[in-house]
């Protein structure tokens, strides 16, 4: 049982096997960073690996593609093999490339094959808008009306999705399913295995958006038979703003011609033959499009070193404990202030952040930031707080709630307009 005291928070920190990793990251003095589910912090190792890659450019010039500590030509594949442990893929099934939305376009262009009565894509009404923009674009490119051919599963409560509703919507008109592993507002974690099996039982391919889970939650994409997945690395994986993303393609699909062919998807042994007939790599590397953004990939080298040392299971264990502790403190200290916990409270369905709902959420977020806590606001009424396992201590969690209580006790949030800034 958790105790709502500072002393207990200190005790939890003494027991925390990850407590030393906070020193690996750059954190401002007197700041608690609870926004790692939006942009993770810079680690000292990521900074060092970026400097090393810059040094390779300085010293080797074009020979940096094959020389130095981190040769660029194979960097996307090599990092993909390291990422594989975080997503539960085989090394050759994962590659570091592109951006989240670019990768989604690539994968839908490859695997969405409308034929006969199967012409629809199934998504959900709570998904991050960029995914929906991409799906609508892909439908339009095929001359299909998104109003008719994009199905969005409705939420029963405005926060979460019912998996039975998702499965019921998998009709014989659906050719492809695209869903988030974790919902970006409420932090609901879907049952990936169950939903994937249901899609396959109905002859439907399924892809998953892992942006809000990769780096916080263990996955088993290969074992669960997931057809493909895509995600960013700038949240829980701490690769920096605009950091290069990642994708997974199950080995059963190797040999599929990429919908958007590009030079760096070539078989590496043939890439510099300069032939006009494309020979795709026999791996997830085939789904690369352009030349790797080497300087935006470099911080990931250092970040993955930390994950290799700790292991994703230990990350998840602390994340679950810290989010449960946060919810306990909210119930204990903030029960008089109309906060609603909008995320699933059970471990099986909870992602890496806590979703607090309040009608004054935007102004409360501004007050938190002014008092040393960096939260995240999502319209219309959500305060997201992410106790990231690497660099948020249990005392940080306790202090966050105490600061929030002071803001509510003294109505400090009323100094600020209850509307989002340009960047929420």
Q: Is residue 128 a known part of a binding site?
A: yes
Calpha distance 97→152 (Å, rounded): 28
Q: How many CB atoms lie within 10 A of CB 119?
A: 18
Q: What is the 3-state secondary structure (H, E, C) of the chain?
A: CCCCCHHHHHHHHHHCCCHHHHHHECCCCCCEECECCCCCCCEHHHHHHHHHHHHHHHHHHHHHHCCCCCCCCCHHHHHHHHHHHHHCCCHHHEEECCCHHHHHHHHHHHHCCCECCECEEEEECCCCHHHHHHHHHHHHHCCCCHHHHEEEECCCCCCCCCHHHHHHCCCCCEEEEEEECECCCCCEECCHHHHHHHHHHCCCEEEEECCCCCCCCCCCCCCCCCCEEEECCCCCCCCCCCCCCEEEECHHHCCCCCCCCCHHHECCCCHHHCCCCCCECCCHHHHCCCCCCHHHHHHHHHHHHHHHHHCHHHHHHHHHHHHHHHHHHHHHHCCCCCCEECCCCCHHHECCCEEEECCCHHHHHHHHHHCCEECEEECCCEEEEECCCCCCCHHHHHHHHHHHHHHHHCCHHHHCCCCCCCCC
Q: Is residue 129 a known part of a binding site?
A: yes
Q: Is residue 105 a known part of a binding site?
A: no
Calpha distance 212→233 (Å, rounded): 10
Q: Is residue 293 a known part of a binding site?
A: no
Q: Is residue 323 a known part of a binding site?
A: no
Q: Is residue 212 a known part of a binding site?
A: yes
Q: Is residue 303 a known part of a binding site?
A: no
Cα angle: 7, vertex 13, 18; to 5 degrees: 175
Contact 195, 167 (CB under 8 A): yes
Contact 333, 405 (CB under 8 A): yes
- For the annotated binding site, the residues are 100-101, 128-131, 209, 212, 234, 263, 291
**Which residues belong to the annotated binding site for pyridoxal 5'-phosphate?**
100-101, 128-131, 209, 212, 234, 263, 291
């Amino acid at each position: 049982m958790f105790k709502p005291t500072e002393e207990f928070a200190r005790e939890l920190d003494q027991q925390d096997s990850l407590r030393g990793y906070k020193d690996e990251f750059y954190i401002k003095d007197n700041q608690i960073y609870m926004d790692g589910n939006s942009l993770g912090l810079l680690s000292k190792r990521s900074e060092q690996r970026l400097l090393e890659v810059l040094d390779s450019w300085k010293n080797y010039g074009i020979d940096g593609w094959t020389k130095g500590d981190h040769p660029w030509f194979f960097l996307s594949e090599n990092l993909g093999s390291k990422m594989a442990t975080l997503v539960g893929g085989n090394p050759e099934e994962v590659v570091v490339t592109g951006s989240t939305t670019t990768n989604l376009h690539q994968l839908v262009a490859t695997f969405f094959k409308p034929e006969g009565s199967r012409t629809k894509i199934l998504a959900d009404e709570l998904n991050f808008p960029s995914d929906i923009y991409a799906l609508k674009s892909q439908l339009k490119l095929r001359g299909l009306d998104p109003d008719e051919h994009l199905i969005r599963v409705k939420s029963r409560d405005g926060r979460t999705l019912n998996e039975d509703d998702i499965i019921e919507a998998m009709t014989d008109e659906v050719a492809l399913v695209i869903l988030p592993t974790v919902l970006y507002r409420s932090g609901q974690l879907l049952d990936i295995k169950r939903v994937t099996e249901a899609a396959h039982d109905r002859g439907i391919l399924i892809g998953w958006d892992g942006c809000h889970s990769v780096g916080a939650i263990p996955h088993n994409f290969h074992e669960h038979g997931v057809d493909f997945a895509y995600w960013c690395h700038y949240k829980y994986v701490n690769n920096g703003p605009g950091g290069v993303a990642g994708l997974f393609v199950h080995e059963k699909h190797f040999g599929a011609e990429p919908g958007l062919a590009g030079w760096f998807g070539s078989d590496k042994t043939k890439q510099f033959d300069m032939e006009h007939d494309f020979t795709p790599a026999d791996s997830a590397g085939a789904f690369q499009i352009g030349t790797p953004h080497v300087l935006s990939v470099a911080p990931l080298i250092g970040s993955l070193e930390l994950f290799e040392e700790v292991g994703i299971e230990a990350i998840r264990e602390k994340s679950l404990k810290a989010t449960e502790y946060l919810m306990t403190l909210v119930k204990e200290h903030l029960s008089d202030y109309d906060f609603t916990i909008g995320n699933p409270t059970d471990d099986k369905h909870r992602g890496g952040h806590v979703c607090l709902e309040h009608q004054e959420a935007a102004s409360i977020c501004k007050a938190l930031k002014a008092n040393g806590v960096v939260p995240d606001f999502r319209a219309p009424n959500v305060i997201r707080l992410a106790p990231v396992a690497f660099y948020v201590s249990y005392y940080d969690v306790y202090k966050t709630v105490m600061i929030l209580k002071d803001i509510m006790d003294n109505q400090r949030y009323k100094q600020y307009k209850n509307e989002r800034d340009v960047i929420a």
